[in-house]
Amino acid sequence: MTAEEHNKTLATLHFIYGGMHGLTLLGLLLLVIVLMTASTAANSISAPWVAVSVLVFLIFLFAVALLPLLVGYALMKRRRWAKPLGICLAVISLINIPIGTALGIYTFKFFKSEGGIKLYGGRVSTASESELQDALHGAKPLMNWAKRTR
């Protein structure tokens, strides 16, 4: 694949990732609203707790839904700010095993590749294959644990 095709694929994946999480959060919000209106015990929740809950929900919405959509848009339009924002999102996405982890690794790999450097600037990774294998060796216990817990 060419760098432009990887860029388009990465943008599409970020749109899907953001949409998937955004719809999930909106579904959760709808569920909470229905439960709040249907339950008589909802009146016993104090206003500060509701305000904190709304703030936490908005932070989650921004971090896991709107940020990927913004990165996808920046990648589609080839904006220079796509790289730093994409790398920040890749770090956040690594927590979401397995989809976010795969997307984060693919994002890192693209931005450090020659095609990513050509489109967005920066330096090519200087890591050799043996250094990458050494890094992978440290992750093998975690991968083996994941296989055992299936």
Per-residue pLDDT reduced to its tens digit, 3-26: 899 999 999 999 999 999 999 988
Cis ω before 68 (30° cut-off from 0): no
- Report which of 98, 117, 90 is spatially closest to residue 7, judged by C-alpha positions: 117
Per-residue pLDDT at 136: 47
Position 86, amino acid = G
> CA-to-CA distance for 22 and 72, rounded, in angstroms?
14
Mean pLDDT of 49-61: 84
Token look-up 């206003």 returns 47
Higher pLDDT: 68 or 33? It is 68
Mean pLDDT of all residues in the chain? Answer: 82
Position 36, amino acid = M
CA distances in angstroms from 22 to 17, 26, 44, 95, 149, listed in the order given: 8, 6, 29, 17, 29
In which band, very low, low, confident or very high, does the pLDDT at 88 lie, cut at 50, 70 and 90?
very high
Higher pLDDT: 24 or 63? It is 24
DSSP string, the chain: --HHHHHHHHHHHHHHHHHHHHHHHHHHHHHHHHHHHH-GGGGGS-HHHHHHHHHHHHHHHIIIIIHHHHHHHHHHHT-TTHHHHHHHHHHHHTTSTTHHHHHHHHHHHHHHSHHHHHHH--------HHHHHHHHHHHHHHHHHHHHT-
In which band, very low, low, confident or very high, does the pLDDT at 83 lie, cut at 50, 70 and 90?
very high
In which band, very low, low, confident or very high, does the pLDDT at 135 lie, cut at 50, 70 and 90?
very low
Per-residue pLDDT reduced to its tens digit, 91-132: 988 998 888 888 988 999 888 888 888 899 887 666 555 654
Per-residue pLDDT at 46: 77
pTM: 0.74
